[in-house]
């Protein structure tokens, strides 16, 4: 109850005091009193808006002592009512920190920080759960982390500047988008060798594979296309035009729809994968926010396909979209510059990264509430989660 109240309050304030610009330096944040938050337990305290405007800062200061007892109480309530969840580990790539943070999703805290290569972004767990692979773009490699020892044990021949990638359903092939040379590199996970290379549009980024494994999808940011690639022949079967700068693609679990986010266009396209046609373009509107600040990036589709979470970048919100009617049901206030997310395997939580506030927001999937934020490394970007023995 109390948590809910505070969330409401914080949401309202944010609309008034919102001030994050896409180009704003994260350095200005260190001026904020909220940075000195001693208790890493309440989402509302963490995500109070940062503002350069003196008036707003003053107001924030005035509210701060009032909210602390609530935050403490909330933490206590949480601690006692939380169900003992299955122990999962979430791996967060920190783009500027050149590290991967490991979060225990039961305790909801960072348990380990692993140093990796330069500019780690795309991250995923292998099918067997034995490794996590992370694309270190500036090191031109994909590194392999052993999930037992939490150490980098090897690397894959990813091609130049890897950013995002996707496994085939069997987990045997890895498709990597190489932004710098307009190709998709195919890697055989058994031999750890390149098994092919596919020419696509300008600046390939989003990668996914259809649930039946027959179609590989790649979005190219400057061509503004979603390419449908035949997984066997590596031929491009069709290229579908979407909104400007498509960054991420995801299939519904039953393969009936492909969702593609367009960052600059500010839309999400729902594509019929049989007809290769956009059947719905979803737009977003947050009161008090300029359209330009709404930049959809990460997409997380619930297993049943009924709910889709869309990370809106500098809008500092995750939109909750009905997977059937395509209506936006709710906007969840998260941290600054929200990028990508991943569900826990039980679909209880969705963890999303906030690139400018250096934390991860934990969303309660059933309650559609943000319940906590967890400080991680510098500029968190991607998330990978799987069950641990």
Partner 1 sequence: MGSLKRSFLEAIAAAAMLLALAADAAAVDTAEIKIGYLRRAEQMPAISLLDVAAPDAGLAGAELAIADNNTTGRFLNQKFSVTDVKLGPGEDPAAAVQRLGGEGISLVVTDLPADALLKAADAGRARGMLFFNAGAADDALRGEDCRAGIVHIAPPRSMLADGLAQYLVWKQWLKWVLVSGSHPEDKLFAAALKRAATRFGAKIVEEKEFEDKGGARQTDSGLAEVQRQIPLFTQGLPDYDVLLAADENAVFAAYLPYRTKAARPVAGSAGLSPASWDPSMEQWGATQLQNRFVKQFSRRMRPLDMQAWTAVRMIGEAVTRTKSAEARQVRDYILGASFELAAFKGRALTVRSWDLQLRQPILLSDGKNVVSISPQQGFLHPVSELDTLGYDKPETKCVLK
Residues near partner 1 (CB under 8 A) are 19, 21-24, 52-53, 161, 179-180, 182, 201-203, 220-225, 227, 236, 239, 241, 243-245, 263-266, 290, 292
320 within 8 A of 330, measured Cβ to Cβ:
yes
29 within 8 A of 356, measured Cβ to Cβ:
yes
Give the separation between CA 157 and CA 186, rounded to whole angstroms. Answer: 10
Residue placing its CB nearer to partner 1 in the complex, 89 or 161: 161
Give the separation between CA 77 and CA 33, rounded to whole angstroms. Answer: 25
DSSP 8-class letter at 284: -
Residue placing its CB nearer to partner 1 in the complex, 138 or 346: 138
Residue whose entry in the numeric block shows the structure tokens 């696509």: 200
Minimum distance from CB of 25 to partner 1 (Å)?
Answer: 9
Residue placing its CB nearer to partner 1 in the complex, 43 or 206: 206
Residue whose entry in the numeric block shows the structure tokens 């409401």: 8
Give the separation between CA 92 and CA 380, rounded to whole angstroms. Answer: 7
| Whole-Å CA distances, 14 to 6, 10, 228, 310 | 12, 6, 40, 19
| Residue among 199, 189, 184 nearest 249 (CA) | 184
Minimum distance from CB of 293 to partner 1 (Å)?
Answer: 8
Minimum distance from CB of 345 to partner 1 (Å)?
Answer: 32
Residue placing its CB nearer to partner 1 in the complex, 243 or 377: 243
Radius of gyration of the chain (CA): 20
51 within 8 A of 20, measured Cβ to Cβ:
no
Residue placing its CB nearer to partner 1 in the complex, 90 or 198: 198
Residue placing its CB nearer to partner 1 in the complex, 263 or 359: 263
Q: Which two tokens stand for residue 294?
A: 């709404």
Burial group, residue 96, by CB count within 10 angstroms (0-12, 13-18, 19+): middle
Residue placing its CB nearer to partner 1 in the complex, 218 or 363: 218
Burial group, residue 92, by CB count within 10 angstroms (0-12, 13-18, 19+): buried
Give the separation between CA 204 and CA 71, rounded to whole angstroms. Answer: 43
For 219, other C-beta atoms within 10 Å of its C-beta total 31
DSSP 8-class letter at 6: H
Residue placing its CB nearer to partner 1 in the complex, 13 or 386: 13
Give the separation between CA 52 and CA 180, rounded to whole angstroms. Answer: 36
Residue placing its CB nearer to partner 1 in the complex, 262 or 344: 262
Minimum distance from CB of 67 to partner 1 (Å)?
Answer: 26
133 within 8 A of 121, measured Cβ to Cβ:
no
Minimum distance from CB of 165 to partner 1 (Å)?
Answer: 17
């Amino acid at each position: 109850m109390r948590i809910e109240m505070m969330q409401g309050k914080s949401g309202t304030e944010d609309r008034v005091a919102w001030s994050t610009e896409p180009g704003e330096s994260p350095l200005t944040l260190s001026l904020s009193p909220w940075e000195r938050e001693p208790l890493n337990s309440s989402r509302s305290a963490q995500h109070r808006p940062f503002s350069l405007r003196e008036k707003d800062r003053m107001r924030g200061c005035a509210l701060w002592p009032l909210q602390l007892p609530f935050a403490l109480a909330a933490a206590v309530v949480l601690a006692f009512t939380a169900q003992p969840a299955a122990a999962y580990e979430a791996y967060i790539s920190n783009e500027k920190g050149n590290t991967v943070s490991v979060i225990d999703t039961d305790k909801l805290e960072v348990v380990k920080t692993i140093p990796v290569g330069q500019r780690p972004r795309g991250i995923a767990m292998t099918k067997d759960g034995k490794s996590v692979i992370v694309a270190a773009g500036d090191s031109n490699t994909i590194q392999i982390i052993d999930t037992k020892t939490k150490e980098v044990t090897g690397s894959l021949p990813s091609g130049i500047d890897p950013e995002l990638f996707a496994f085939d359903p069997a987990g045997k092939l890895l498709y990597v988008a190489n932004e710098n040379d307009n190709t998709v590199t195919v890697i055989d996970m058994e031999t750890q060798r390149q098994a092919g290379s596919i020419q696509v549009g300008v600046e390939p980024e989003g990668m996914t594979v259809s649930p039946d494994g027959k179609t590989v999808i790649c979005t190219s940011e400057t061509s503004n296309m979603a390419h449908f690639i035949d997984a066997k022949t590596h031929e491009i079967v069709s290229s579908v035009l979407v909104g400007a700068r498509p960054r991420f693609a995801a299939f519904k679990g039953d393969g009936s729809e492909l969702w593609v986010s367009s960052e600059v266009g500010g839309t999400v396209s729902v594509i019929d994968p049989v007809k290769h046609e956009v059947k719905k373009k979803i737009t977003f509107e947050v009161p008090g926010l300029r359209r330009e600040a709404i930049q959809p990036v990460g997409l997380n589709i619930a297993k049943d396909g009924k709910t889709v979470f869309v990370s809106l970048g500098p809008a500092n919100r995750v939109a909750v979209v009905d997977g059937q009617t395509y209506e936006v049901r709710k906007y969840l206030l998260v941290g600054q510059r929200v990028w990508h997310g991943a569900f826990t395997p039980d679909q209880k939580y969705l963890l999303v990264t906030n690139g400018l506030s250096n934390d991860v927001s934990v969303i309660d999937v059933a309650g559609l509430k943000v319940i906590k934020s967890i400080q991680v490394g510098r500029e968190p970007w991607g998330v990978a989660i799987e069950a641990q023995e």
